[in-house]
Structure 1
Amino acid sequence: MTTTAPISNALTARRTIPALLAWLTCLCLALPLRAEPIDELAESLQIDAMIEVMRVEGMAYGAELAEEMIPGGSNSAWQELLDQIYDAEKMRTIVRQGFAEVIEDSDPAPLIAFFSSDLGQKIITLELEARRAMIDDAVEEAARQAYLDIKGSEDPRLDQLRRFVDVNDLLETNVTGALNASFRFYSGLVDGGGLQLAEGDILADVWSQEEETREDTREWLFAYLLLAYEPLEDEELEAYIALSETTQGKALNRALFAGFNAMYDEISYALGLAASRQMQQQDL
């Protein structure tokens, strides 16, 4: 149910997942929606805390983007634009709309029961802590190396995580989200006048990134999961996997991707548009 919904751009594949990433089960509901049970679920998922982590990630990514694309790097005008793009309330609104369209016919009771339990709260806290920690490049690199050290092995925890990823379709859905976000970023650059490319050329460039994006996504995803769930007992992780396999769990996963992919599509386009305009202003 963890959703690492990545933000992709043509320049920094290394940041593909964290910037738009994933956003995990605890990021799941940028609600409240309408009904009180959904409000209760949103509160148990610590949504405000996760949105803030996402915003910090995005602001850091925006600073890196400026170094790559804007002459002179980041400046006060760019920082103001980032504040507007990564506005937490706007982010919640977009997620709420996308999520509601998918989850509204699902029964939230089993989800509330799980995420309000001691185990559910433990999982959410671990996800938040790991997500926050991996904003630090050194922590991210160490987590990636920990995964690479056991990649391809029959490590029992790695096997559990493979099943978790498969049940929730985390890899392919995140790759699709990342490529879509990359397309939106290019579109923003073109619409802002900073890049001249036909839509077909944009699509070709985005698809040329597919395999690299998939490998980077896989590496970040397993690195994150290993870090986040390391304190969990095997049976605790099995309970989480079991929830993901239920009708409600699958509906939640679909809703999360719908909401967060919509949010990152909007953010990616806005970043492309803002970068394009800053590039042109610097040229004047």
Structure 2
Amino acid sequence: MSSFTRADMAPFHRQSPIFQLLRGLSFAVIALVLLSAVQTRAADRDKVAAFLQVTGFDVAIDSIALSAGSAPLMLGLEEDAFGLEWKLLAEKVFDIELMQERATDILEATLSDEVLAHGAAFYASDLGQRLVEVENASHLADDEEKAAEGERLLEVGGEEAEERIALFKRMNHAIDPKDIGMQAVTEIQVRFILAATYAGVVELRTDEDGLRATLRENAEEFAEEREMNSLRNAAYTYQSFSLDELTAYTEALEDPMMMQLYELMNAVHFEVMSNRFEALAIAMGQIQPQQEL
């Protein structure tokens, strides 16, 4: 699926350091989404907790922690630049309970009973639970193996393969119809790099405007890479599903209420992710090496 599916949400693609942040919503977009999602009656906390479990969104939040290992690469540092302290630091910052609490707090305040019930009903169905199972497993799968197998599946060719790819693209559009994911690439990465700069982890040889301009120069390349990664991930994740099942899933995602649900869940997911990466940058300053970026 696309960057906005639970199957592909949390773990960054580790093969390209900058691409590891192609999973975001800008803070302005997040704020607008959360404000527009507020309903006259929000869901209570117990319902939200049950919703997270039945949809597998709790696993998507947990798996944000898997992205911590790639943080040094995004700053131009070696993966082992922070030595033995790194594992303890990452575990402390990407605390599972803290992330779940933050996600639940936001959803409790913004997710309406109507939208919650709609999403929960689909994912509680037989098809929905099978989807949750494979998507949860995909979160924890090895990135390189997943990419290689997904690529192999995409190259099979034939009419059915083309139909599957067409469905994957429809899923991507349903998840992010306004294509706001790419708008957030610069915002999330810039905030992480600037936080690391302020913490003394790296020295930035340009100002914020220059950093943004550099990232924009590569936007088209990253957009293509993101799309291909989404297709590879979808091919891998949903390989056991028939065309009829994939069609049913696609149509479910295209329902306006489901699109509203995903807009909110994506905003929450990336708010948690962005918050933790900024916190990580600050914490890295306490054990940091010095290097120009």
TM-score band, normalised by the shorter chain? 0.7 to 0.9
The answer as to whether partners of 1:62 and 1:82 remain within 8 angstroms in 2 is no
Aligned match of 1:178 in 185, 209, 228? 185
Report the AA paired with residue 194 of structure 2: S
Match of 1:25 in 2: none
Alignment of 1:11-90 (within 5 A): 12-13=17-18, 15-16=20-21, 34-55=44-65, 57-62=66-71, 68-69=76-77, 73-90=81-98
Match of 1:221 in 2: 230
1:6-48 CA deviation, whole Å, 9 max, x = no partner? 7599x7135445xx589xxxxxxxxxx6244433322212444
Match of 2:144 in 1: 137
Name the TM-score, length of structure 2 as normaliser: 0.76
- Structure 1 residue 219: deviation in Å? 1.4
1:171-194 CA deviation, whole Å, 9 max, x = no partner? 933323333221111111222133
The answer as to whether partners of 2:199 and 2:285 remain within 8 angstroms in 1 is yes
Show structure 2 runs of 5+ residues with no match: 26-42
Match of 2:169 in 1: 162
Report the AA paired with residue 17 of structure 2: T
Aligned match of 1:125 in 127, 130, 133? 133
Are residues 277 and 212 of structure 1, via their aligned partners in 2, closer, same or farther at CA, if it must alter by over 3 Å?
Answer: farther
The answer as to whether partners of 1:69 and 1:275 remain within 8 angstroms in 2 is no
Are residues 228 and 234 of structure 1, via their aligned partners in 2, closer, same or farther at CA, if it must alter by over 3 Å?
Answer: same
Show structure 1 runs of 5+ residues with no match: 23-32
Structure 2 residue matching 1:236: 3-state secondary structure? helix
- Structure 1 residue 199: deviation in Å? 2.1
Structure 2 residue matching 1:173: 3-state secondary structure? coil
Are residues 8 and 277 of structure 1, via their aligned partners in 2, closer, same or farther at CA, if it must alter by over 3 Å?
Answer: farther
The answer as to whether partners of 1:16 and 1:217 remain within 8 angstroms in 2 is no
**How many equivalent pairs are there?**
267
d(CA) in 2 for partners of 1:72, 1:109: 45
The answer as to whether partners of 2:150 and 2:236 remain within 8 angstroms in 1 is yes
The answer as to whether partners of 1:70 and 1:278 remain within 8 angstroms in 2 is no
1:35-90 CA deviation, whole Å, 9 max, x = no partner? 444333222124444444332x2244247568x51596241222222112211122
The answer as to whether partners of 1:16 and 1:216 remain within 8 angstroms in 2 is no
Give RMSD over aligned pairs.
Answer: 3.5
Q: Which has the higher helix share?
A: 1
Alignment of 1:103-122 (within 5 A): 103-104=111-112, 106-122=114-130
Structure 2 residue matching 1:155: 3-state secondary structure? helix
Are residues 99 and 71 of structure 1, via their aligned partners in 2, closer, same or farther at CA, if it must alter by over 3 Å?
Answer: closer
d(CA) in 1 for partners of 2:221, 2:285: 25
- Structure 1 residue 102: deviation in Å? 4.2
